[in-house]
Amino acid sequence: MIQIKENISLKPFNSFGIDVLAKQFCTVRSFNEVQALLEWNKTKNSPLLILGGGSNLLFTKDYNGLVLQNALKGIELVKEDNEYYFVKAMAGENWHQFVSYCVQMQYQGIENMSLIPGNIGASPMQNIGAYGVEVKDVIESVEAIQISDGAIVSFDNKACEFGYRESIFKHQMRNQFIIVSVLFKLRKTPVYNTSYGNIEQELMNMKAAPSIKAISDAVIRIRQRKLPDPTKIGNAGSFFKNPIIPTVLYNELKKAHASIPGFAVQNGLHTKVPAAWLIEQSGWKGFRAGDAGCYPLQPLVLVNYGHATGVEIFNLSTQIIEKVKVEFGIELEREVNIY
């Protein structure tokens, strides 16, 4: 039975630790509860916000509507063949705990994405990724409930229309579906990816040969050195996407900025430029105004040192975007959702 609470502080439910109120708040733990809540909200016609781990959003004001906290739990090996395990995880499961489970079970494919904050439900929406791997590479299908009528709909990988930190759920189908589970296709025979982000060097430091567990441990060590723990310093991980620009433009920039890093994508026609480098070169690394700041060890991460408001953090992000645009002619895009 659904229980709807009123005027609830969202501070415990967002990793930035922003203290705003939700007009209504309800935690759902089953398909039936999701459908019942959607029916209830039809009569109210309130704005609806689907909340998972709260690690990819920034509240700039109170939410004048219904916040649905997705707490559907469960992990199940649905089937397997000679090459793959097909593992279904419910949307309310914690992402890193799921990765740790798969590492323990020797299901290979997501160990490079260890320690990414958030829940399973956000993984296909954002097409999360790290250290050379994206979740689209291992998703078989996504199960979702349609908000308009409560129908359960399945999307195969192609139907999700994945792109860099993008999916159909973020754009064309935004606010039309509630993701309830994801089916992952994970390898039995490992194919390791150690070429990105100093993983090979970390494995050498650990004196460890590549394995599912060793790569996961290496990624955790790297991330813990570079990124603030959201339980200690409010943050949402990477605040900006790494921009992808035409290679012609990149080559022009390289004439003026010889050290600008870039990674060829899309058959070399475009180049991905690290946003962190652009932000640091623009003078923002370690910047702090009041309790809003740019993390000293990773300028891609904006932080709340205690009592910053969402508006203060948003305004800082706007200043960074404007300065990078002036310096390099590249417009950064926020990865975090703003409310």
Looking up residue 58, the CATH number of its domain turns out to be: 3.30.43.10
Cα angle, residue 46 at apex, residues 42 and 52 outer, rounded to 5°: 100
Domain identity same for 80 and 182: yes
pLDDT at 44: 87
Do residues 330 and 243 make contact, with C-beta atoms less than 8 angstroms apart?
Answer: yes
User: Domain ends where: 156, 187, 218?
Assistant: 187
Tell me if 220 is assigned to some domain: no
Q: Which domain holds residue 35?
A: 5-70
The whole-number pLDDT of residue 304 equals: 98
DSSP 306: S
Same domain membership, residue 102 and residue 151:
yes
**Predicted local confidence at residue 5, as pLDDT:** 96
* Same domain, yes or no: 153 and 243: no
State how many domains the chain has.
3
User: Which residue's entry shows tokens 């609806």?
Assistant: 48
Q: Judge whether 199 lies within some domain.
A: no
Q: Do 238 and 332 have their domain in common?
A: yes
Q: Is 291 domain-assigned? A: yes
pLDDT at 196: 82
Q: Do residues 258 and 157 share a domain?
A: no
Q: How many CA atoms within 13 Å lie on the side-chain side of 156?
A: 1
Does 222 reside within a domain? no
Query: Which of 159, 187, 215 is the last residue in one of the domains?
Result: 187
Token pair 């994801």: residue: 182
From the list 309, 258, 320, the residue with the least C-alpha distance to 287 is 320
Residues 90 and 110 in one domain: yes
Separation in Å, CA 158 to CA 11, 139, 140, 155, 267: 36, 10, 9, 8, 20
Listed residues 70, 87, 107: the one ending a domain: 70
In this predicted structure, what is the pLDDT of residue 10?
97
Residue 177 and residue 112 share a domain: yes
The catalytic residues are 165, 238, 335
Bridge partner residues of 86 (DSSP):
79, 185
CATH number of domain containing 319: 3.90.78.10
Q: Please give the pLDDT value at position 97.
A: 98
pLDDT at position 308: 97
Same domain as 81, residue 183: yes
Give phi and psi for 197, each to the nearest 5.
70, 40
The answer as to whether 171 is a domain residue is yes
DSSP output for 229-296 = -TTTSEEEEE-BPPPEEEHHHHHHHHHH-TT---EEETTTTEEE--HHHHHHHTT-TT-EETTEEE-T
Residues 79 and 183 placed together within one structural domain of the fold: yes
* Position 217 in a domain: no
Please state the φ and ψ torsions of residue 41, each to the nearest 5 degrees: -70, -20
Contact (CB, 8 A) for 330 and 252:
no
Residue 21 resides in a domain? yes
Structure tokens belonging to residue 322: 């404007």
38 and 52 part of one domain:
yes
Same domain, 265 and 238: yes
Per-residue pLDDT of the chain (339 residues; tens, 9 = 90+): 789 999 999 999 999 999 999 999 999 999 999 999 999 998 888 999 999 999 999 999 999 999 999 999 999 999 999 999 999 999 999 999 999 999 999 999 999 999 999 999 999 999 999 998 999 999 999 999 999 999 999 999 999 999 988 999 988 898 899 999 999 999 999 999 998 878 999 999 999 999 999 999 999 999 999 899 999 999 999 999 999 999 999 999 999 999 999 999 888 899 999 999 999 999 999 999 999 999 999 999 999 999 999 999 999 999 999 999 999 999 999 999 999
- 127 belongs to a structural domain: yes
**Shared domain check, 41 and 105:** no
> How far apart, in whole angstroms, are the C-alpha atoms of residue 264 and residue 235?
29
